[in-house]
Structure 1
Amino acid sequence: MQIQDLLKQTDKLPNVPDIVRELIQLLNDPNAKYSDISARVSHDQTISLKILRVVNSAYFGLSRKISSIDDATVLLGMDRLKTLVIASGFANSVTKVEGLSLADFWADSFRVAELAQWFAKRTPLVDEGEAFTAGIVHNIGRLLLHLTAPDIAQDIHTLVANRKAGRVKAEQDLLGFTSQDAGRALMDLWKFPAGLGYAVQHHKRPFANDEPKPLACVLNLACYLNACIRSDRDYDLVREGFPKAVAQMAGLSDGIVYELDDALVIDDGLSQLLH
């Protein structure tokens, strides 16, 4: 099988709103006119309503009710609004996927996004908005696989669940490529920034090709902490197993290991975007 066999099934690909694609393409554009973006968001009723619900939730704890995207932008800032739009747009890009719980999938992606952003705030080498977006889409290739080749996706899941193979090996054996490869191809198709696609493709093994890129390293660290959270790993074991070489290439200080307890209790507040 070739990755193009998945991508050519255009009717099954995630339906990401245009406004979300525009925002991602503008991630590294210092001349982006975010006032125009805010106006565009206001005209997308579905995304606007979801964002206003989240903004007015206890998570943000605002003193008054926010009734417009303009108000939300003033109070939260464009960067935070941008992350909410991207998260909402992806979370609602598909409605049902065979063999995959969308609620669990996106909740997991949201947590990785928040963790990636947490690390990015602590290094000068990675933009926090780009890190957040990388977290949202880090597993998009797996979603693509379930949408376009559900039988193979189930076979891979069975191999992994029965401990017959790790996910990367199972995918390579049954597909000839990994879901990370497929994720990058999908983002290339969508014309997302190349650095974002590279991070998604290489985050599981950032040292495998060339010199590790900081964004891929940050994403690797976020996935590591997410796995620790899912397995309720003891903090001492989290710190002991922390990939320090990856952290160094991400531009993080050695002292980051003593801050990890803060990251382990991150509450993203984004789960309401799923409803």
Structure 2
Amino acid sequence: MQIQDLLKQTDKLPNVPDVVRELIVLLDDPHANYSDISKKVAHDQTMSLKVLRVVNSAYFGLSRKVYSIDEATVILGINKLKTLVIASGFANSVKSVEGIELKSFWRDSFRVAMLAQWLGRRTELVDPEEAFTAGIVHNIGRLLLHLTAPKTALEIQARIKDSFVSRTKAELDSLSFTTQDASKALMDLWKFPPALGEAVRMHKRPFSEQDPQPLACVLNLACYLNACIRSERDEELVVDGFPKTVAKAAGLPEQIIYQLDEALLVGDDLDILLS
């Protein structure tokens, strides 16, 4: 099987709104006109209603109700609005997937995204909003595999469960590529910034090919912390196992280990986007 065998099934690809794709394309454009994007969000009734519902939720705790995207932009700022639009667009991109419980899948993705953003705010080498987006899409290749080759995807899942092999090995044995490779190919198809796709492709093994990319390292650390939260790992064990070499390559200060208790409190507060 080749990655292109998955991508050519265009009718099965995640249906991500155009405005979301445009926002991601603009991530590395310092001259981007985000006011135009705000107008497009406002004209997308489904998207604007979803974003306004989140803005007016207890998550943000605003003192008054927000009635328009323009108002939301003023109150929240374009970066937070951008984050909401991207998260909402992906959370609602597919309705059902064989072998994947979507609420759990997106809840996991959101927490990785928020952890990546948390880490991104503590290094000068990574943009926090780009880190958030990388977290949202870091597992999109797995979703793609289940959508386009569900039988193969389920066979890989069964092998991982029954044989206790790593997902990477199981995927390479069955596919000759990993779902991280598939993520990068799908992001290239969507014309996302190359560095974003490369970070997603390399995040599991950031040192495997060349000098580590800081964004890939941040994503790797976010996945580590997410796994710790999922397994309710003791904080002392989290600190002991924290990949310090990866953290250094991400540009994070050594003192970051003393802030990990804060990271472990990061939740999946964006569940409202799944409703």
Alignment of 1:7-156 (within 5 A): 7-156=7-156
Q: Which runs of 5+ in 1 are unaligned?
A: none
SS of equivalent residue, structure 2 residue 28: coil
Q: Distance in 1 between matches of 2:5 and 2:34?
A: 37
Matched with 2:193 is 193
Q: Which runs of 5+ in 2 are unaligned?
A: none
User: Which stretches of structure 1, 4 residues or longer, exceed 6 Å deviation after superposition?
Assistant: none
Q: Distance in 2 between matches of 1:69 and 1:154?
A: 41
Q: Distance in 1 between matches of 2:65 and 2:24?
A: 28
Matched with 2:172 is 172
Question: How many residues matched?
Answer: 275
**Is contact 2:107-2:268 (8 Å) kept?**
no
Show CA shifts across 1:98-130 (max 9, x none).
111111111100000000000000000001111
**Is contact 2:168-2:178 (8 Å) kept?**
yes
SS of equivalent residue, structure 2 residue 187: helix
SS of equivalent residue, structure 2 residue 16: coil
SS of equivalent residue, structure 1 residue 26: helix
**Is contact 1:15-1:93 (8 Å) kept?**
yes
Q: Distance in 1 between matches of 2:111 and 2:130?
A: 15
Q: Distance in 2 between matches of 1:144 and 1:84?
A: 22
SS of equivalent residue, structure 2 residue 27: coil
SS of equivalent residue, structure 1 residue 184: helix
SS of equivalent residue, structure 2 residue 122: coil
TM-superposed deviation, 1:269: 2.2
Q: Distance in 2 between matches of 1:56 and 1:263?
A: 25
Q: Distance in 2 between matches of 1:178 and 1:14?
A: 18
Q: Distance in 2 between matches of 1:59 and 1:15?
A: 26
**Is contact 1:113-1:135 (8 Å) kept?**
yes
SS of equivalent residue, structure 2 residue 216: helix
TM-superposed deviation, 1:151: 0.6
TM-superposed deviation, 1:164: 3.4
**Is contact 2:159-2:170 (8 Å) kept?**
yes
Q: Distance in 2 between matches of 1:30 and 1:196?
A: 15
Alignment of 1:153-164 (within 5 A): 153-164=153-164
Q: Distance in 1 between matches of 2:223 and 2:266?
A: 14
* Range with greater deviation from structure 2 (195-204 or 265-274): 265-274
RMSD: 0.7
Q: Distance in 2 between matches of 1:27 and 1:155?
A: 36
TM-superposed deviation, 1:69: 0.7
**Is contact 2:108-2:268 (8 Å) kept?**
no
Matched with 2:206 is 206
Matched with 1:225 is 225
**Is contact 1:54-1:269 (8 Å) kept?**
no
Q: Distance in 2 between matches of 1:134 and 1:60?
A: 23
Q: Distance in 2 between matches of 1:212 and 1:149?
A: 31
Instruction: Write the letter of the residue equivalent to 2:84.
Output: L
Matched with 2:272 is 272
Q: Distance in 1 between matches of 2:122 and 2:178?
A: 30
SS of equivalent residue, structure 1 residue 259: helix
Provide the identity percentage: 70
Q: Distance in 2 between matches of 1:163 and 1:261?
A: 34
Instruction: Write the letter of the residue equivalent to 1:186.
Output: L
**Is contact 1:7-1:13 (8 Å) kept?**
yes
Q: Distance in 2 between matches of 1:107 and 1:163?
A: 27
Q: TM-score, normalised on structure 1?
A: 0.99
